[in-house]
Structure 1
Amino acid sequence: FVFTHLPRATSIEQIEALLPWNVNLDNLVVN
């Protein structure tokens, strides 16, 4: 998972809520 700097307890929903660019998550994961 790319967000290694975040606590493991952080859920995907919390991350998406924090990131306004969450629409690009797929691109980041692929790259």
Structure 2
Amino acid sequence: MPSTELLIAFFATTAIFAYIPGPAMLYAAA
């Protein structure tokens, strides 16, 4: 089972990608 720190980092990244779809798509495509 993933550690708490990993889950926090995952949710934080997901929130950033959801909040900023423009730059997020650029990073995802790179």
Give the TM interval when normalised to the shorter protein.
Answer: 0.3 to 0.5
Pick the structure with more helix per residue: 2
* TM-score calculated relative to the size of structure 2: 0.38
Specify the structure having the higher radius of gyration (Cα): 2
Give the structure, 1 or 2, with the largest relative contact order (CA under 8 Å, sep 6 or more). 1
